[in-house]
A and B are shown apart, each in its own frame.
Chain A
Amino acid sequence: MSNSAVSTTNANQSNNTTDSPARRIRDEAEDAEEELRYGASTVISLFIPVTLCMLVVVATITSVSYYTDQSQQQFLVYTPFHTTNAAPAQVVWESIANSLIMIGVIVVMTVFLVLLYKYRCYKVIHGWLILSTLLLVFLFAYLYLAEVLRAYNTAVDYITVVIVLWNFGVVGMICIHWKGPLLLQQAYLIIVSSLMALVFIKYLPEWTAWVILGFISIYDLLAVLCPKGPLRMLVETAQSRNESLFPALIYSSGMMWTVGMAQNAPAPNQQPRGNGSFSTLGVWVHSDNTSSTSQGSDTGFDVAWQRRHNRNSGEVIITSNETRNQARQQLGPPPEGSEEAEDKGVKLGLGDFIFYSVLVGKASATGDWNTTIACFVAILIGLCLTLILLAIYRKALPALPISITFGLVFYFSTDYVVRPYMDSINSAQVYL
């Protein structure tokens, strides 16, 4: 249903402006080529935020011991089984039980969210999301600030803290839920993801976290690809209503079609070949206009209560088709028309950021930098492969399975096999 919606738009718009079927075919062929052409820069536009998020988490874990300190035995309510000094068999069944409970909670919450979305209870969803962002951006940020100051033994008075935190929180809420510069919105999404990842690292028992990572990739795969999967239904409902999906629950590397495109392309076939500069010329403007201009369908879903909604975020979507055609149809009208284009570029769910950072954060908690770097490279390669698949299949894909699998394989193999080897090699100063 969603595919036919996109292709129908193509045909109608092409009919309006092109003279001959040959030109329409050439347009569509150029469409296909240009989509693949943006491969490398879109991959990098996702590498950078994922790397930044991981950097923040790793830097915090290695300098602030609070987030790796599990001596207080405080864990999430959803992971009730956490006996200390348990035998391996008990650890195994406890981790599996905890993960099943956690995944169960996530499934229930996701289904609830999908139902709310389906029956258009936008106000409820909006209120829920605002409440959760409020909690994240004020409370968790305050706790983080307090722990960092404590770790560095720096004294800051409460008045300064209140002013700083108030500004940080309010600007965050505005950027995420309303309008703001794209760069600032991206920065806040990265910060919020890393805060959430740190919470997971602290409040999940050791082995439960690993099992959860594994189970959640499987769940992501099922939820996004199975016909009855909640996330797939979410994406399809959003596409059928022609709404952009959760604009701020998802990180978008939103580059926009610019004024330049409208001016220098009266005849599409005269566009310079191989000029990927259409996307690189993109002004980084917050182009989230679909949500703010459409009063009725308020799809301004912003950063969610990640624990519950991160499942919704396990997707990667390309929306370039709609954007390009919209922009093409504005060749005639003055450039202002092109500012209303949707944001183009790949979107990655915040849940993916969180779980990638959880993996790399736990790797760095071992104290071994080799493991951290190995997991980092593995996750990036997984992301690369996912984006290649995206370019081939062109529909929403789960971003977790490949990266997390690579990450887990490399974590355990580096930690148990490579680490002792490199330790003996490094102390003997042998260069392989």
Chain B
Amino acid sequence: MPLMVFFGCTMIAFGPSLAMFILTIAKYPLRVILLVVGAFSWLLALLFSALLWLAVVPLKEQLAFSLVFSVIFQEAMRYGLFRMMKNAENGLDDALSEDEKKSISNHKLSYTTGFGFGLMYGLFSIVNVLSQSIGPGSVGIDGHSSNFMLISAFLTSSTILLHTFWNVIVFDALNKQQYYKVITVVCLHMLVSCCSLLNVQQNLAFVSVIVSYIVLIGTTVWAFKAAGGSVVNIKSCLNR
């Protein structure tokens, strides 16, 4: 039974990401490198958030405090990543071959780095939970929800995708200097994260799942439009 939970939750959490990785990233060496760069930048953001949490001792129990600052740090790191990619563009232009340049043209760069960002986030949120789910134990014995693992898996899956698409939107907006879009994305991130505060504290986990998935659907459509997609594109792609 625990092993089933483990495999089920792993597939739920990482299924879409694994498919995206295999189909879009695995064949292109440059994209794999960018994935690792995106992952590393999230790691740095997490390090800063954790340092802040460790430093502000009286507020250690109030996770909401560290959560707000963590969102701010993550978005700041996203901006830092954008700046770094922008500065590296000139150097990359000389060093890359045509094929490689095509593999990270337009929105593919923001997609890949956002995917790395989100993937690292997903791994850190759920890997320890998954490794515990194999072992003997009962979930939710303290009166918490017995669907802890399942909810974690669904939330992880949606946040990985959310980060990917937010990155596409933000990089596009920063390129066109439409800062209101960046602010909207930051607010959405804050919304989804703050809803997750309801998860265990008040046993209202389904709220955060619903909010997260509604935001995910909206963000997907927005990112698709930002990357230049439209209904016409989909139709022609399917008819080809």
A residues touching B (Cβ–Cβ < 8 Å)?
Answer: 36-37, 39-41, 43-44, 47, 273-276, 368-370, 373-374, 377-378, 380-381, 384, 391, 410, 413-414, 417-418, 420-432
Q: Is B87 an interface residue (CB 8 A)?
A: no
Q: Please name all residues of chain B whose beta carbon is closer than 8 Å to the beta carbon of A40 when the two chains form the complex.
A: 28-30, 33, 96, 100
B residues touching A (Cβ–Cβ < 8 Å)?
Answer: 28-30, 32-33, 36-37, 39-40, 43, 46-47, 49-51, 53-54, 60, 63, 66-67, 70-71, 74, 94-101, 120-121, 123-129, 131, 148, 151-152, 155-156, 159, 192-193, 196-197, 199-201, 205, 208, 212
Contact indicator B128/A37 (Cβ below 8 Å):
no
In the docked arrangement, what's the CA distance between A420 and B49, Å? 12
Q: Please name all residues of chain A whose beta carbon is closer than 8 Å to the beta carbon of B96 when the two chains form the complex.
A: 37, 39-40
The residue on B at minimum CB distance from A424 is B63
Contacts A369-B131, A373-B120, A432-B125 given; 9 further ones with Cβ under 8 A? A40-B96, A44-B32, A274-B99, A274-B100, A377-B40, A377-B43, A426-B125, A428-B201, A429-B205
Given A44, A421, A428, which contacts B199 in the complex, CB threshold below 8 Å? A428
The residue on A at minimum CB distance from B152 is A429
Chain B nearest Cβ from A410, distance in angstroms? 7
Contact indicator A430/B97 (Cβ below 8 Å):
no
Interface of B is mostly: helix
Q: What are 15 contact pairs spanning A and B, CB under 8 A?
A: A36-B95, A40-B30, A44-B32, A274-B99, A276-B99, A417-B51, A421-B54, A425-B125, A428-B197, A429-B196, A431-B125, A431-B208, A432-B49, A432-B74, A432-B193
Given known A274-B97, A380-B36, A421-B53, contact A430–B67 (CB-CB < 8 A): yes
Given known A43-B33, A44-B29, A417-B47, contact A432–B128 (CB-CB < 8 A): no
Given known A44-B29, A373-B123, A428-B63, contact A421–B50 (CB-CB < 8 A): yes
In the docked arrangement, what's the CA distance between A427 and B28, Å? 37
Contact indicator A431/B159 (Cβ below 8 Å):
yes
In the docked arrangement, what's the CA distance between A43 and B31, Å? 11
Contact indicator A431/B196 (Cβ below 8 Å):
yes
Q: Please name all residues of chain B whose beta carbon is closer than 8 Å to the beta carbon of A431 when the two chains form the complex.
A: 125, 155-156, 159, 192-193, 196, 199, 208, 212
Contact indicator A422/B32 (Cβ below 8 Å):
no
Q: Please name all residues of chain B whose beta carbon is closer than 8 Å to the beta carbon of A370 when the two chains form the complex.
A: 124, 127-128
Q: Please name all residues of chain A whose beta carbon is closer than 8 Å to the beta carbon of B199 when the two chains form the complex.
A: 428-431
Q: Please name all residues of chain B whose beta carbon is closer than 8 Å to the beta carbon of A377 when the two chains form the complex.
A: 36, 39-40, 43, 120
Given B121, B127, B208, which contacts A369 in the complex, CB threshold below 8 Å? B127
Chain A nearest Cβ from B117, distance in angstroms? 12
Contact indicator A418/B50 (Cβ below 8 Å):
yes
Given known A37-B97, A418-B50, contact A430–B33 (CB-CB < 8 A): no
In the docked arrangement, what's the CA distance between A115 and B126, Å? 53
Contact indicator A426/B47 (Cβ below 8 Å):
no
Q: Please name all residues of chain B whose beta carbon is closer than 8 Å to the beta carbon of A420 when the two chains form the complex.
A: 54
Contact indicator B66/A421 (Cβ below 8 Å):
yes
In the docked arrangement, what's the CA distance between A429 and B46, Å? 16
Given B32, B74, B98, B151, which contacts A274 in the complex, CB threshold below 8 Å? B98
Q: Please name all residues of chain A whose beta carbon is closer than 8 Å to the beta carbon of B51 when the two chains form the complex.
A: 417
Tally A-B pairs: CB < 8 A: 131
Chain A nearest Cβ from B141, distance in angstroms? 13
Contact indicator A41/B29 (Cβ below 8 Å):
yes
Chain A nearest Cβ from B18, distance in angstroms? 16
Q: Please name all residues of chain A whose beta carbon is closer than 8 Å to the beta carbon of B98 when the two chains form the complex.
A: 273-274
Q: Please name all residues of chain A whose beta carbon is closer than 8 Å to the beta carbon of B208 when the two chains form the complex.
A: 431
Chain B nearest Cβ from A415, distance in angstroms? 11
Contact indicator A381/B40 (Cβ below 8 Å):
yes
Given B99, B127, B200, which contacts A429 in the complex, CB threshold below 8 Å? B200
In the docked arrangement, what's the CA distance between A24 and B40, Å? 42
In the docked arrangement, what's the CA distance between A274 and B102, Å? 11
Q: Please name all residues of chain A whose beta carbon is closer than 8 Å to the beta carbon of B29 when the two chains form the complex.
A: 40-41, 43-44
Q: Please name all residues of chain A whose beta carbon is closer than 8 Å to the beta carbon of B67 when the two chains form the complex.
A: 430, 432
Contact indicator A39/B128 (Cβ below 8 Å):
no
In the docked arrangement, what's the CA distance between A233 and B53, Å? 49
Contact indicator B129/A418 (Cβ below 8 Å):
no
Contact indicator A378/B40 (Cβ below 8 Å):
yes
Contact indicator A369/B128 (Cβ below 8 Å):
yes
**Chain A to chain B: the 3 pairs with minimum beta-carbon distance, closest first:** A274-B98, A40-B29, A431-B196
The residue on A at minimum CB distance from B102 is A274
In the docked arrangement, what's the CA distance between A327 and B201, Å? 68
Contact indicator B196/A422 (Cβ below 8 Å):
no
Given B60, B95, B128, B193, which contacts A368 in the complex, CB threshold below 8 Å? B128
In the docked arrangement, what's the CA distance between A39 and B30, Å? 9
Contact indicator B47/A418 (Cβ below 8 Å):
yes
In the docked arrangement, what's the CA distance between A274 and B36, Å? 24
Contact indicator B49/A421 (Cβ below 8 Å):
yes
Q: Please name all residues of chain A whose beta carbon is closer than 8 Å to the beta carbon of B192 when the two chains form the complex.
A: 431
Chain B nearest Cβ from A421, distance in angstroms? 4
Most buried by A among B50, B67, B100, B121: B50
Most buried by A among B40, B54, B192: B40
Contact indicator B123/A430 (Cβ below 8 Å):
no
In the docked arrangement, what's the CA distance between A40 and B196, Å? 39
Chain A nearest Cβ from B122, distance in angstroms? 10
Q: Please name all residues of chain A whose beta carbon is closer than 8 Å to the beta carbon of B30 when the two chains form the complex.
A: 40
Chain B nearest Cβ from A189, distance in angstroms? 21
Q: Please name all residues of chain A whose beta carbon is closer than 8 Å to the beta carbon of B123 when the two chains form the complex.
A: 373
The residue on A at minimum CB distance from B64 is A430
The residue on B at minimum CB distance from A423 is B128
Most buried by B among A36, A381, A391, A423: A381
Q: Please name all residues of chain A whose beta carbon is closer than 8 Å to the beta carbon of B159 when the two chains form the complex.
A: 431
In the docked arrangement, what's the CA distance between A413 and B48, Å? 10
Contact indicator B54/A422 (Cβ below 8 Å):
no
The residue on B at minimum CB distance from A273 is B98
Q: Please name all residues of chain A whose beta carbon is closer than 8 Å to the beta carbon of B49 when the two chains form the complex.
A: 421, 432
